[in-house]
C-alpha cells in the first residue's frame, strides 16, 4: 500500500521519475524580523604611535597641532595638557607560560600588549615560567629587558636559579598573581 503525503514547508518529498508530480499544498513563507535598528557606539579609543603601542590617550583633541605634546613612554616626561590621561602600554613577552596562565595574565594585564616568542615586536618586559625554561638562556637572550620569573613556591631550586641568572624579580606564582600589575608598572618606570 502506498500513502500519498503532501509536501509542506517542513516536509521534503524526493522526486521519483515517472510518478505523478504533486505540488506543495502550503507555500513556505520566509520568517525574518520586520525591522532592524543600527546604532553607533559613542566610544572611541585612540592609540598614539601604533608602531610601538606605547601610549593610549584620552581627549586627544585638547592637544595643539598634530602630535603636539604627545609623549613617548620612554621619555618619562609629564604632559602639559591638563585633561589628557597618559597610560604606559608595555609589550610583555611571555616565555614558557602555559595557555591557562596566559589567560589569567591577559585578564590581570588588560592594559598591556602580551606577546609570545614568535612575535617580532621587541618586549618592554619579560615574564617567564621558571619551571618551563632555562633561566640563564632567557637572561642571555634579553639582557637589556627587565625579566620577571615565577615558579611554584616549592620550587626553591628554580627560584634560586632565576635569581642567580639575574632576573629583576623572582616570585612565587601566587605572589605574581596578586601583584603582577604593580610589578610590571614598577619595572617599566624604573
What is the C-alpha to C-alpha distance for residues 147 and 184, in angstroms, rounded to an integer? Answer: 10
- Number of structural domains in the chain: 2
The terminus-to-terminus CA distance of the chain in angstroms comes to 89
User: Can you list the positions of beta strands (E) in 2-77?
Assistant: 46-48, 55-58
Same domain, 85 and 95: no
For residue 135, give the H/E element and its range.
helix 135-141
Contacts of 47 (CB under 8 A, 6+ apart): 53, 55, 56, 57
Determine if the pTM surpasses 0.95.
Answer: no
Same domain, 134 and 156: yes
Same domain, 70 and 123: no
Same domain, 146 and 123: yes
1 domain-assigned: no
Same domain, 98 and 180: yes
Contacts of 44 (CB under 8 A, 6+ apart): none
Supply the range of the domain harboring residue 72.
43-89
Same domain, 138 and 112: yes
75 domain-assigned: yes
Tell me which of 54, 74, 89 is where a domain ends: 89
Same domain, 54 and 136: no
Same domain, 129 and 166: yes
Three-class DSSP category at 64:
coil
Three-class DSSP category at 188:
helix
Per-residue pLDDT of the chain (190 residues; tens, 9 = 90+): 556 666 566 655 556 555 555 555 555 565 655 565 655 555 555 555 444 444 454 444 444 444 444 444 455 545 454 555 566 788 999 999 999 999 999 999 988 999 998 989 899 999 999 999 999 999 999 999 999 999 998 999 999 999 999 999 999 999 999 999 999 999 988 7
Amino acid at each position: 500500500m502506498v500513502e500519498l503525503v503532501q509536501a509542506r514547508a517542513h516536509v521534503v518529498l524526493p522526486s521519483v521519475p515517472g510518478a505523478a508530480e504533486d505540488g506543495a499544498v502550503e507555500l513556505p513563507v520566509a520568517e525574518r524580523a520586520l525591522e532592524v535598528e543600527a546604532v553607533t557606539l559613542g566610544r572611541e579609543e585612540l592609540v598614539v604611535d601604533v608602531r610601538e603601542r606605547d601610549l593610549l590617550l584620552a581627549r586627544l583633541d585638547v592637544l595643539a597641532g598634530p602630535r603636539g605634546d604627545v609623549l613617548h613612554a620612554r621619555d618619562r616626561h609629564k604632559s602639559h595638557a591638563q585633561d589628557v590621561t597618559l597610560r604606559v602600554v608595555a609589550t610583555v613577552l611571555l616565555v614558557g607560560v602555559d595557555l591557562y596562565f596566559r589567560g589569567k595574565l591577559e585578564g590581570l594585564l588588560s592594559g598591556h600588549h602580551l606577546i609570545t616568542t614568535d612575535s617580532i615586536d621587541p618586549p618592554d618586559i619579560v615574564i617567564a615560567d621558571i619551571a618551563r625554561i632555562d633561566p640563564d638562556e632567557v637572561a642571555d637572550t634579553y639582557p637589556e629587558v627587565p625579566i620577571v620569573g615565577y615558579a611554584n613556591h616549592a620550587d626553591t631550586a628554580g627560584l634560586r636559579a632565576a635569581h642567580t641568572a639575574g632576573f629583576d624579580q623572582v616570585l612565587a606564582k601566587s605572589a605574581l598573581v596578586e601583584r603582577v600589575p604593580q610589578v610590571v608598572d614598577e619595572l617599566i618606570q624604573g
